[in-house]
Amino acid sequence: MNNRIANNRIAVVGAGAWGTALAIQAVRAGRDVVLWARDPARAAMIAENRQNPRLPGIALPEAIEVTSLLPDDAAAILLVVPTQHLREIAARLPRGPAPLLVCAKGVEVGTTRLPLEILAELHPGRPAAVLSGPNFAAEIARGLPAAAVIAAADADLREHLAALLATPQFRLYGNDDPVGAQVGGAAKNVIAIAAGAVIGAGLGENARAALITRGLAELSRLIVALGGKAETATGLSGLGDLLLTCTGPSSRNYSLGHALGRGETLAAILAGRSTVTEGVTTAPALIARASGVEMPVCAAVAAVVAGRITVTQAMTALLARPRRDE
């Protein structure tokens, strides 16, 4: 990786709140950054105003170039687009040596592939890793303390990417279990919908704590079933991300679940949003990928978003499960 560190340019593909926050973080780490937005008009607006409406009140440093042209030269390319659009965007990337860092969480609908599996199919042999952890975009953009993991089997790749992005306020840990990190990032969004529904329905903090704990057990079972390590479930990309997403009011998945618990319809909730709530599409894809793995909380969420059962019916079914040892 050392031959690429000389290139000080980071490309961030995806100009949503998270992509913009990571672009700002890369500048803090001393990098020049090109930030890609799909829509030329939106790219021009962000470039002119030096601000992204998704992160109000936060100015873009001058070291960030905003463009609608996909970059072809960088020390690393950060893919910060929703998982359901990752295949389309990754297929358009120019071939080259720059490693790819996935900064999206989810499971692809239809194929049930994890993000790194999509990249391996489209860019075989190209170095790729995943960034995951308990991070809200606005806090990263403001420079508040945070931590995350860069997961890849290749230790040199992990170190290379961490050197490009880490600062004392944004602590990056290496992780050699990319499967576990990806499963944690996907499952936590689904479990967060359930946690929000519990509070929205007025079932209380005890119920939410129990659900989060049982959700963590589901997450761990799936990680192991897919070839990952059980201990990853208790790290930043597992328990850390799960706690933030299931308790933070800024979480899109938690707030969607909260609205469902109050009795709002999924269609009405989504119609009022301009951003993607990954857990909605991830839930059925995760359950399809988890064939044979016991995941009652995630299965209940998948059934609710599919319209097969109501939140009340889902809660009743979960509470009626047979007693067993933990």
Nearest to 78 by CA among 135, 137, 15, 123: 15
Q: What is the 3-state secondary structure (H, E, C) of 149-167?
A: EEECCCHHHHHHHHHHHCE
CA 2 to chain centre: 28
CB atoms near residue 138 (< 10 Å): 17
- Closest by alpha carbon to 265, among 210, 200, 211, 207? 200
Residue 188 falls in the annotated catalytic set: yes
**Amino acid letter at 194?**
A
Q: What whole-number distance in Å separates Cα of residue 278 and Cα of residue 275? A: 9
Tokens of 47: 């470039």
The alpha helices in the chain, defined as continuous H runs, are 2-5, 17-28, 40-49, 83-92, 115-122, 137-142, 155-165, 178-200, 205-225, 241-247, 252-261, 266-271, 278-289, 296-305, 311-319
For Cα atoms 39, 42, 44, give the angle at the middle one, nearest 5 degrees: 110
Please give the Cα distance from 225 to 187 (Å, whole number): 14
Q: Which amino acid is at 146?
A: A
* Local structure of 128: helix, strand or coil: strand
Structure tokens at 109: 């609908």
Q: Of the listed 31, 54, 113, 188, which one is catalytic?
A: 188
What are the residue numbers of the active site?
A: 188
